[in-house]
Amino acid sequence: MKILTTALLSLAVGSTASATDLQLTVSPEVAKPGQIVTVTMTNTSATDTYTLPSPCLWKSVNAGGYNAVPVFNMFCGSFLSPVAPGQTISMAWDQTDDSGSQVGDGTYVFPVRIYDASFSTITMAPTVVVSSVTNPPALYGKGGAGSAGWAPILGSHGVPSVGNSAFHLSVYDALGAAPAMMLISAKAGETTVGWGTYLLDLSAPVISIALPLGGAGAGAGSLNIPAPLPNNPALIGQRAFTQVIVLDAGSAGNLAHTNGLEVILNS
């Protein structure tokens, strides 16, 4: 059942305008299979009205990024819907796809598009991690925007359990065909530099892997990254922290970057 509710993330992804007055939350941010996930937006402005292009806060649920393939499409009309100062609007997802089946473990994004008072477009990507394991993957930190304001998203797909050869990561919403580098460390961190933020501990050993992003254009770059997990019980509980840096002349310092992603190996 797809239901509308009221209740309360604010992960801005790409935009031609800022949205400091829009408070977005996802509850829960990490959900067990079948758990209802609610996305809520509140217009905290005392004076400004924003406008949705339909009565729906989001029209699809996408696997991995704002510009990723939808797994579920919501039927919505196409008429402008104002969101007045102080108004809250919420929508909920029951984790089913278009066929009515439960989606698999992974990162899912609710693309939100809204207009400000001058009708400039604001896009945001509230995100939920669906996980059936005790220690789910965790997104942390914020991405740094590249061309046209798009901040790349790093997510995971599948169950992060030892022996799962199908587990993989994904990058979405980057600059298409841009050179990129994945950084992997055993420790998280936060070091701000001129172009953005390293979300890994730079004092610990860091592995770097070049990535060939596909796509063409701002926000259209993507890649699925196979990450088969060894079938070694001794690795249960081990953690890896990763982030992707993208060469992008449209970003501050010519580099855009993803959020951080923590993966814990489960049994």
Task: Report d(CA 34, CA 29) in Å as an integer.
Answer: 14
pLDDT of residue 77: 87
Instruction: Check residue 11 and give its pLDDT.
Output: 39
Q: What is the mean pLDDT of the chain?
A: 92
Q: Could you count the other beta carbons within 10 Å of the beta carbon of residue 201?
A: 16
Q: Is the pLDDT of residue 111 over 90?
A: yes
Strands 127-130 and 106-109: antiparallel
Above 60 in pLDDT, residue 8? Answer: no
Amino acid at site 105: D
Strands 196-200 vs 138-140: parallel, antiparallel or unpaired: unpaired
- Read off the pLDDT of residues 112-157 as tens digits, 9 standing for 90 and up: 999 999 999 999 999 999 999 999 999 999 999 999 999 999 999 9
pLDDT band, very low/low/confident/very high, at 15 (cuts 50, 70, 90):
very low
Residue ranges of domains in the chain, CATH in brackets = 1-132 (2.60.40.3880), 133-267 (2.20.130.20)
Please check the confidence at residue 4 and state whether its pLDDT lies above 50.
Answer: no
pLDDT band at 20, cuts 50/70/90?
confident
Residues in the chain: 267
Give me the pLDDT at residue 18, please: 60
